[in-house]
């Protein structure tokens, strides 16, 4: 991500230190992760110490300090999905990708995350791949869904 | 500042408005154990070992004395079965993290805490934040900070700052209630591997 | 396109009249639910199919078309309602659209197959408000969702929106507004249930300037999504409430804290704020009243603890959301140490209602301690998953059975978990409990933000406690010891129990850790965190004991404590489970009874899932030894004729 773009985002937020989280969210959503250079630029421009930026970038779940895979898989572990068997969906996805939540596989194909509730409880158990919702899944369905991504 | 009259362990104590219960107790030579408190730092309220019973307007509750402000007619008890039981549990939880910390071992003897009560997970750090807050508030260097949250929370040095500042300072080390093992380790780690990033927050690994 | 700014209440009244006269109540209009739930099951395609079809059939000027926010009946989405008859079609697919479009002009034509069918009686219902799910609700706050396009301020104004703001700004003093809200006895819908009017008064009287007002839309409770649906479906009602509160408190700066995981809510909120500003309902000199008010949106970056007020404030300041001790309370010393009033989305959305209808009418609904209505998200093992708005005081049983349609699959109700992760479980014997803040707290649970998760006989209550404690361990900020370390140990012990490694004394240790967390934690997250354990222990102690002493999971749910077994008398050797088994643990062949190799089985449950219900050969066992596999020589099924094979369910 180039510095001009980061500066543009910072300027959009009037260079206010209180907008730190908003700035990082925008970088995250455009770049899918927060490279070190970006954090350093933000620290310099917003006059926020790097220690706080690192705390924020690791405290909030939306941020990643490592590159993400091509496909972002989110398995909902909300209560409604849990009582409808989301653990088994997660196990299936873990088996298929060989990674655990928070990880990205070596080929940068999949990143796996769990989410606490997507608010589509009627469709539980639910899994979202690249923004597309797959609902009312069984383990076998989850396997089929995952096979559809290259 | 106006005076506030309160009672601590049956003793009438005069304090001034804005003081904490801990300040007031210490002023009256009543000792309350603390781990994350430091007179030069802003109150933090993290370790909870300083909890006391505080009774006001007919309500009796446990409060952390290091952050709870004094108020008129507050009736404080620094020791009771309830207070001791909770301090003991807090110590046992911390001993699972830092089983050999002299400060913890001393307190454990006092409160009858069992060092082996809980499954051990030694990290040496008990997250009191003294090093982090000292570096930020007093030294204003921000060489060390926290990363992550909850059970994955750790202290972490910023390599660029640490390489310039820490060697000559290390003033945070003696503040550590667990003999700064972890601080020394992560400082070394930051200096040796400056490009490694702190661990990502995401993930769902409950130990 | 610039729209005229409204500079007086008269101009707003005129616009409102103009807009509502254009909405002829007798001309047909198609409303499609485009809330997140319906979008996830294909509402986008339904909307575009309608657009195409209206074009094709030349209906654009004859029939209105509106995509709205969530209607609540998420179980049966996508939902289409045709006014004025209120004909309600469920689970609509794009293929159904041409037929619906042409029927929309002809009030006598009903498309039978898309109507609501009662699960038991098989009776069909045409009108939306006659469907039992809706009939037993009282949708004062959530009802307008169905009537408006959330991206159109005109729709909101047409149904009388911002009228309460006018009343507040021009006919009431701030003190009168606070008195009205106090008299209505409105309690915060976000969790603790503090009296909103009292909270406002404290903030108003607190010294300090400026003052801030905040909308808390950091709805982190898993299984609760009413705040999202309000924010998505009717953002102006929240903004209007916020404006009224700000005026009453004496604040000119507001924040909306909304989860970034709710992209549609963020989007609709942004549009609503822009439109309100264009219309002169936000910004300087609102409607010529002299009152200025500005709102900023802050997206939450994913931390449950930020629902806690002091953590939310720190997050707004651009810091990690680690709660700070109270006192001082945010109403006195909040954002940037200034008086700050934070209310939840639903609380704010109730405010225009109180101002419009008066405190007396609002307080006529509900119980002594809890007034008005409450939106719940009814989810889990329930036939009609969705958002329901009910009057306070309604028995839980009515919510489960009359509105929720009971438990699917003929299963037995076991418990209802309310109040989010820090809430508790309410057992069957307390189902006649009336819904209210104090009533739920007395039963060991709480109102929380309003999640209602229904659990049936297949749900293990120890596992439920483990699940919530795990969630809270993950979400603990890590600042104080009782929460960070205590919950970690609690999770460990609970995890061990569900794995059949529980020990004597575990329950007592859990109780001690619960006391420590409740009494000594810094913030409400830690103080309430033990509730899921304590309430399940209170009502389901026998399940804990079965796990610990007998290594048995009575609900047959805990993976490590169960085994899957194929009943040889029921197995028809259909090969389905054998092919689907991910670990090839099933031995068998055509006409040869299938047997699970317990050593290879990982208890994934696929065999049970895929075994045809008419055979129901796969069983779960717990606490008893798995019967030995039947001998090889008795495994062959001899089929008499083709006839028998075709009708295997006959035997």
Report ipTM (2 d.p.). Answer: 0.92
| Range B63-76 average pLDDT | 95
Note whether C266 and C273 are within 8 A (CB). no
**Interface residue A102 vs chain C (CB under 8 A):** no
C324 exposure class (CB count in 10 Å sphere: 0-12, 13-18, 19+): buried
C422 close to C525: Cβ distance less than 8 angstroms: yes
DSSP sequence for A56-76? HHHHSTT--SSPPPSEEEEEE
State how far the Cα of A105 lies from the Cα of A100, in Å rounded to an integer: 9
Distance from the Cα of residue C423 to its chain's centroid = 14
Give the gap in angstroms from C-alpha C506 to the nearest C-alpha of chain A.
24
Mutual angle of helices C345-357 and C163-171, in 10-degree steps: 70
pLDDT of residue C70: 94
- Is C251:C200 a contact under the CB 8 Å cutoff? no
Chain B CB within 8 Å of residue C319 CB: no
Judge whether residue B205 has pLDDT over 70.
Answer: no
Q: What is the mean pLDDT of chain B?
A: 90
Alpha helices in chain A (DSSP H): 3-12, 20-31, 36-46, 50-59, 79-83, 86-97, 139-147
pLDDT at site C396: 96
Q: Which two tokens stand for residue C250?
A: 């004496």
Rounded to 10 degrees, what is the CA torsion of C434, C440, C446, C447?
A: 20
C-interface mutation test, from B48, B114, B207, most C Cβ less than 10 A away: B48
Strands C64-68 and C29-33: parallel
Question: For residue C492, what are the β-bridge partners?
Answer: none
Beta carbons of A28 and A34 less than 8 angstroms apart? yes
- E strands present in C18-93: 29-33, 64-68, 80-83, 87-89
Q: What is the rounded (10 degree) CA torsion for B66, B69, B70, B73?
A: -120
pLDDT at position B184, please? Answer: 81
Best CA proximity match to C434, nearest among C372, C391, C383: C391
Residue B144: closest C-alpha in chain A: A51
Residue with tokens 């021009």: C170
d(CA A68, CA A87): 23
CA angle centred on C381, ends C380 and C385, rounded to 5°: 60
Q: Report the C-alpha gap between C204 and C197 in whole angstroms.
A: 10
Angle, to 10 degrees, between the axis of helix C531-549 and the axis of helix C481-498?
Answer: 30
- Number of C-alpha atoms within 13 angstroms, CB side, residue A128? 23
User: Residue C649: what pLDDT?
Assistant: 47
Best of C304, C310, C481 to substitute, by most chain B Cβ atoms within 10 angstroms, is: C481
β-partners of residue B50 are none
Position B135 scores a pLDDT of: 96
Residues of C in contact with B45 (CB under 8 A): 324-325, 479-480, 522
Minimal CA–CA distance to A40: which of C543, B197, C444? B197
Neighbours of C202 (CB within 10 A): 17
Residues in chain A whose Cβ is within 8 Å of chain B: 36, 49-52, 54-55, 57-61, 63-66, 77, 100-103, 113-114
- Per-residue HEC secondary structure of C110-131 comes to CCHHHCEECCCCCCEECEHHHC
Question: pLDDT-based confidence at B202, cuts 50/70/90?
Answer: very low
> Shortest CB distance from A116 goes to which of C380, C471, C559?
C471
CB pairs below 8 Å between B and C: how many?
103
Residue C338: its pLDDT value, please? 97
Task: Measure CB to CB from residue B206 to each of C303, C484, C491 and give the nearest one.
Answer: C491
What phi and psi values does residue C349 have, to the nearest 5 degrees? -65, -20
d(CA C234, CA C219): 16
Chain C residues 128-187 within an 8 A CB cutoff of chain A: none
Q: Are B6 and B73 in contact (CB under 8 A)?
A: yes
Each residue of C65-83: b (16+ CB within 10 Å) or e? bbbbbbbbbbbbbbbbbbb
pLDDT digits (tens, 9 = 90+) for A81-109: 888 889 889 999 999 999 999 889 988 89
A24 — contact with chain C (CB < 8 Å)?
A: yes
pLDDT at B199: 54
Opening angle at CA B187, ends B185 and B193, nearest 5: 95
* B47-59 pLDDT per residue, tens: 999 999 999 988 9
Interior CA angle at A55 toward A49 and A60, to 5°? Answer: 130
DSSP notation for C602-637: ----HHHHHS-TTT--EEEEESSPPPPPPPGGG-BP
Listed as ranges, residues in chain A with pLDDT below 70 are none
Confidence of residue B198 (pLDDT cuts 50, 70, 90): low
Decide: helix, strand or coil at residue C194: coil
- Residues of chain C where predicted confidence (pLDDT) is lower than 70: 1-2, 107, 640-651
End-to-end CA distance of chain B: 49
- pLDDT at site C59: 84
C491 touches chain B (CB under 8 A): yes
- pLDDT, residue C222, reads 82
């Amino acid at each position: 991500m180039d510095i001009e773009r980061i500066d543009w985002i910072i300027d959009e937020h009037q260079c206010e230190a209180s907008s730190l989280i908003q700035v990082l969210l925008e970088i995250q959503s455009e770049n899918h992760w927060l490279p070190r250079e970006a954090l350093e630029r933000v620290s310099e421009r917003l006059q926020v110490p790097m220690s706080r930026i690192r705390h924020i970038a690791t405290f909030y779940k939306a941020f990643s300090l490592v590159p993400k895979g091509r496909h972002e898989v989110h398995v909902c572990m909300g209560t409604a999905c849990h009582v409808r068997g989301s653990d088994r969906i997660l196990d299936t996805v873990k088996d298929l990708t060989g990674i655990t939540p928070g990880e990205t596989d070596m080929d940068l194909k999949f990143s796996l995350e769990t989410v606490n509730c997507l608010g589509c409880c009627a469709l539980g158990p639910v899994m979202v791949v690249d923004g597309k919702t797959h609902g009312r899944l069984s383990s076998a369905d989850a396997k089929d869904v995952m096979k559809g991504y290259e | 500042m106006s005076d506030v009259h309160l009672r601590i362990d049956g003793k009438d104590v005069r304090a001034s408005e804005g003081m904490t219960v801990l300040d007031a107790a210490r002023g009256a030579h009543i000792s309350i154990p603390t781990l994350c408190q430091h007179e030069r730092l802003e109150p933090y309220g993290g370790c909870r070992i300083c909890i006391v019973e505080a009774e006001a307007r007919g309500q009796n509750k446990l409060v952390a004395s290091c952050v709870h402000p004094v108020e008129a007619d507050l009736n404080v008890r620094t020791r009771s079965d309830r207070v001791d039981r909770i301090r003991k549990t807090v110590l046992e939880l911390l001993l699972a993290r830092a089983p050999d910390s002299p400060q913890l071992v001393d307190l454990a003897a006092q409160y009858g805490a069992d060092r082996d009560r809980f499954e051990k997970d030694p990290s040496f750090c008990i997250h009191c934040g003294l090093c982090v807050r000292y570096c930020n508030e007093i030294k204003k260097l921000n060489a060390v900070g926290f990363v992550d949250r909850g059970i994955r929370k750790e202290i972490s040095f910023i390599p660029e700052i640490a390489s310039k500042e820490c060697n000559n300072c290390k003033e945070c080390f003696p503040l550590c209630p667990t003999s700064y093992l972890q601080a020394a380790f992560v400082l070394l780690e930051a200096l040796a591997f400056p490009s490694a990033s702190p661990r990502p927050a995401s993930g769902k690994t409950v130990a | 396109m610039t729209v005229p700014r409204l500079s007086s209440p008269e101009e707003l009244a005129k616009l409102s009249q103009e807009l509502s006269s254009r909405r002829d109540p007798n001309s047909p209009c198609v409303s499609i639910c485009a809330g997140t739930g319906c979008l996830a099951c294909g509402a986008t395609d339904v909307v575009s199919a309608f657009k195409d079809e209206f074009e094709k059939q030349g209906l654009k000027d004859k029939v209105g078309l509106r995509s709205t926010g969530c209607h609540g009946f998420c179980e049966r989405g996508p939902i289409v309602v045709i006014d004025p008859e209120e004909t309600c079609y469920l689970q609509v697919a794009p293929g159904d659209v041409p037929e619906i479009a042409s029927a929309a002009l002809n009030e006598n034509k009903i498309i039978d197959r898309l109507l609501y069918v009662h699960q038991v009686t098989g009776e069909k219902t045409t009108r939306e408000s006659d469907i039992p799910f809706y009939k037993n609700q009282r949708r004062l706050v959530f009802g307008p969702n169905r009537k408006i396009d959330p991206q159109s301020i005109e729709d909101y104004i047409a149904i009388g929106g911002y009228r309460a703001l006018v009343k507040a700004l021009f006919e009431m003093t701030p003190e009168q507004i606070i008195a009205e809200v106090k008299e209505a006895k409105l309690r915060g819908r976000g969790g603790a249930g503090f009296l909103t009017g009292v909270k406002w008064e404290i903030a108003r009287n607190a010294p300090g300037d400026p003052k801030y007002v905040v909308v808390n839309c950091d709805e982190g409770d898993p299984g609760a999504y009413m705040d999202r649906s309000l924010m998505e479906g009717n953002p102006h009602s929240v903004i209007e409430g916020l404006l009224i509160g700000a005026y009453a408190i004496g604040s000119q700066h507001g924040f909306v804290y909304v989860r970034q995981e709710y992209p549609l809510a963020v989007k609709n909120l942004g549009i609503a704020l822009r439109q309100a500003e264009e219309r002169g309902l936000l910004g300087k000199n609102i409607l010529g009243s002299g009152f200025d008010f500005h709102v900023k949106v802050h997206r939450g970056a994913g931390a449950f603890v930020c629902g806690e007020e002091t953590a939310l404030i720190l997050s707004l300041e651009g810091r990690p959301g680690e709660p700070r001790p109270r006192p001082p309370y945010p109403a006195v010393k909040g954002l940037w140490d200034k008086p700050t009033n934070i209310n939840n989305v639903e609380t704010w959305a109730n405010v225009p209602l109180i101002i419009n209808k008066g405190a007396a009418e609002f307080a006529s609904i509900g119980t002594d301690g809890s007034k008005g209505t409450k939106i719940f998200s009814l989810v889990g093992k329930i036939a009609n998953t969705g958002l329901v708005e009910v009057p306070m005081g309604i028995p839980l049983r009515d919510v489960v059975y009359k509105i929720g349609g009971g438990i699917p699959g003929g299963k037995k109700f076991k418990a209802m978990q309310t109040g989010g992760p820090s809430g508790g479980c309410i057992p069957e014997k307390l189902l006649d409990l009336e819904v209210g803040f104090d009533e739920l707290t007395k039963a060991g649970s709480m109102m929380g933000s309003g999640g209602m998760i229904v659990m049936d006989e297949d749900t293990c209550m120890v596992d439920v406690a483990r699940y919530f404690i795990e969630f809270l361990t993950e979400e603990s900020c890590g600042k104080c010891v009782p929460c960070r370390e205590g919950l970690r140990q609690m999770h460990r012990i609970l995890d061990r129990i569900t794995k059949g490694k529980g020990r004597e004394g575990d329950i007592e240790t859990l109780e001690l850790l619960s006391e420590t967390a409740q009494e000594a934690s810094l913030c409400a997250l830690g103080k309430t965190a033990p509730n899921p354990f304590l309430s399940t222990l209170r009502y389901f102690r026998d399940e804990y004991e079965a796990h610990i002493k007998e290594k048995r999971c009575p609900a047959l749910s805990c993976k490590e404590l169960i085994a899957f077994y194929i009943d040889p008398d029921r197995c028809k050797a259909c090969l389905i489970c054998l092919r689907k088994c991910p670990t090839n643990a099933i031995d068998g062949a055509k006409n040869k009874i299938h047997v699970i190799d317990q050593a290879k089985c990982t208890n994934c449950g696929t065999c049970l899932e895929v075994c045809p219900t008419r055979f129901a050969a796969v069983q779960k066992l717990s606490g008893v030894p798995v019967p030995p596999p039947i001998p090889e020589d008795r495994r062959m099924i001899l089929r008499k004729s083709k006839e028998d094979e075709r009708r295997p369910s006959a035997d």
